Amino acid sequence: MNKIRSRQELVHWVTELRSKTDKNPPRVGYTSGVFDLLHAGHVMYLTKAKEHCDILIVGVNADSSVKRLKGEQRPINSERDRAEVIAALEAVDGVFLFEEENNNTNVECLRPDCYLKAGDYKKEQLSSTPLVESYGGQVVIIPFRDGRSTTGAIEKIVSQYGMQIATFNEKEPYEKRPAVFLDRDGTICKHVDYLHEPEKFEFLPGALEGMKLLQGNGYRLVIITNQPGIGLGYFTKEDLFRVNHAMLKGCGAAGVMIDKIYFSPYSQADGTPCRKPGTALVERAVSELHIDLPASYVIGDMTSDIQLAANVGCSSALVRTGKGGQDGLFECEPDLVGDSLVDVARQIAQK
C-alpha cells in the first residue's frame, strides 16, 4: 500500500482492518506535526510512538497551515516532500496531509485508540483530549529530546552563517555598558498564565522602583522573556505586543526606559536556543547593544533565568515573586536573592 493517502482513504483502511479482526483489532495510534527539516528527534519520537500501537497514522500539516502557525517563511520543505520523508520511516504505516490548525477533525474521523503528542504539553491543554476520551481513547504524551528541533536548526544556521552574509561598517552606536536581563512575567509583572490581555497586566510591587534604580546605576534594561503561548497557539504576537505596550506605557510614566525586549515564541518541545536558558537572545542583545556581559546580571523568578546567567557567564539574581525559584526545572544557585525586584536592585547597587 502506498503510505501517503488522503485522510478519507486512511479512515476507510483503518475501518476495514478493525472490521476484519473484531476479537482482537489492531491498536491504531495517531500523531501529527510539521516535520520540516527532519532530524533525529523526529525519528526517535515516531519510533517511540509506534511502541504504543500496532498501526501508526501520521498527519502532516499542509503548507498553508504551517504558514498560519509558524509564519510566512515556513515551511522550508514542501508538504509533499515532508510527507514522503515521513512515509519512508519504518515506524509509520500511513501519512496524510491536513489543512486544519488543530487535530479535532482528524481525531473525529480516525477515532484512534491512542492520540500521541510530543513535548511539554499537558493533556488538559490539548483541544482534542475531550474528543479522544469521549469514545474511550487514550492520550499519550511522549517527552521531547532537548536541543533537537527544526526551529533550532534554522536558528543555528542563521547564527553561524548569517553574519557572514552582511557586513556592518558603522561606528558602534552604543558605549559599552553592563545590562540587567530581566524576565517579565513573575519578575516585572504579576504572573498570569499565557498573559495576552493588556488589561490583566499588573506591575509587581517594587518593580518600577527597582528598574529605575538599576537604570540610574548605569545598567541597560533588557527584557528576555519566554512566550510559549504563541507557539502553542494560545495567543498571537500581536497580543504580546499589546501587553508589552501596556508595560512600556507604565514604565515611561515612571521614568523607566527599556532598552530592548527580546522574546522566544517557542515551547520547550521546540528545543530552540533562543528559549531560556538557551543563550541566543542574550548573545543577540550583547551584539546589538554593546553590552559588557561579565559585569551584567540576569534577574528572574525561575531557575531557567538563573541557569541562563550561568550559561552566558554573568551574575544572577532570583526574586521570590512569581515562581520564586520553585519551578524545579534546573538545579542552580543564584548569586543574589531578594523578595522583589527593588530588593535585588539595591543589592546590585551596593556592589
pLDDT in tens, 292-330: 999 999 999 999 999 999 999 999 999 999 999 999 999
Residue 346 pLDDT grade (very low, low, confident, very high; cuts 50, 70, 90):
very high
What average pLDDT does the segment 63-74 reach?
83
Q: Are 98 and 62 in contact (CB under 8 A)?
A: yes
55-61 and 94-98: which strand pairing? parallel
Q: pLDDT category, 124, cuts 50, 70, 90?
A: confident
CATH superfamily of 172-350: HAD superfamily/HAD-like (3.40.50.1000)
Predicted confidence at residue 160, as pLDDT, reads 54
Cis omega (within 30 of 0) for bond into 205: no
In the prediction, which pLDDT does 166 show? 37
SS3 174: coil
Q: What is the pLDDT of residue 302?
A: 97
Helices (H) and strands (E) in the chain, counts: 13, 11
Q: How far lies 157's CA from each of 66, 86, 153, 276, in Å?
A: 20, 23, 6, 19
Structure-model confidence comparison of residues 31 and 118, the more confident one: 31
Nearest to 195 by CA among 162, 156, 240: 240
Would you say the CATH fold of 172-350 matches that of 7-145?
A: yes
Three-class SS state of 93: coil
Site of grid cell 504505516:
93
Domain ranges of the chain: 7-145, 172-350
Cell numbers given for 187: 519578575
**C-alpha of 97 from chain center:** 24
Q: Is the pLDDT of residue 58 over 80?
A: yes
* Weakest-pLDDT range from 58-72, 212-226, 333-347: 58-72
Topology at the third CATH level for domain 7-145: Rossmann fold (3.40.50)
Specify the pLDDT at position 156.
62
pLDDT band per the 50, 70, 90 thresholds, residue 174 = low
pLDDT range class, residue 148, cuts 50, 70, 90: low
- Does residue 176 contact residue 292 with C-beta atoms inside 8 Å? yes
Q: Is the pLDDT of residue 61 over 80?
A: yes
Report the pLDDT averaged over residues 9-27.
Answer: 88
260-282 pLDDT, tens digit each: 999 999 988 877 899 999 999 99
Please report which confidence band the pLDDT of residue 168 belongs to, taking 50, 70 and 90 as the band edges.
very low
Average pLDDT over residues 101-129: 87
**pLDDT value at position 321?**
97
Q: What is the pLDDT of residue 165?
A: 39
- State the pLDDT confidence band at 171, using cuts at 50, 70 and 90: very low
For the segment 199-225, the average pLDDT, to the nearest whole number, is 97
Distance (Å, whole) CA 118 – CA 79: 20
Q: Is the pLDDT of residue 91 over 60?
A: yes
Q: Answer yes or no: pTM beyond 0.85.
A: no
Tell me the pLDDT band of 158, cut-offs 50, 70 and 90. Answer: low
> Which run of H or of E encompasses 297?
strand 297-300
Instruction: Write the burial class of residue 161 (CB in 10 Å: 0-12 exposed, 13-18 middle, 19+ buried).
Output: exposed
Task: Write down the pLDDT at residue 122.
Answer: 74
pLDDT at 74: 83
User: pLDDT at residue 152 above 70?
Assistant: no
Query: In the structure, what pLDDT confidence band is assigned to residue 57 with cuts at 50, 70 and 90?
Result: very high
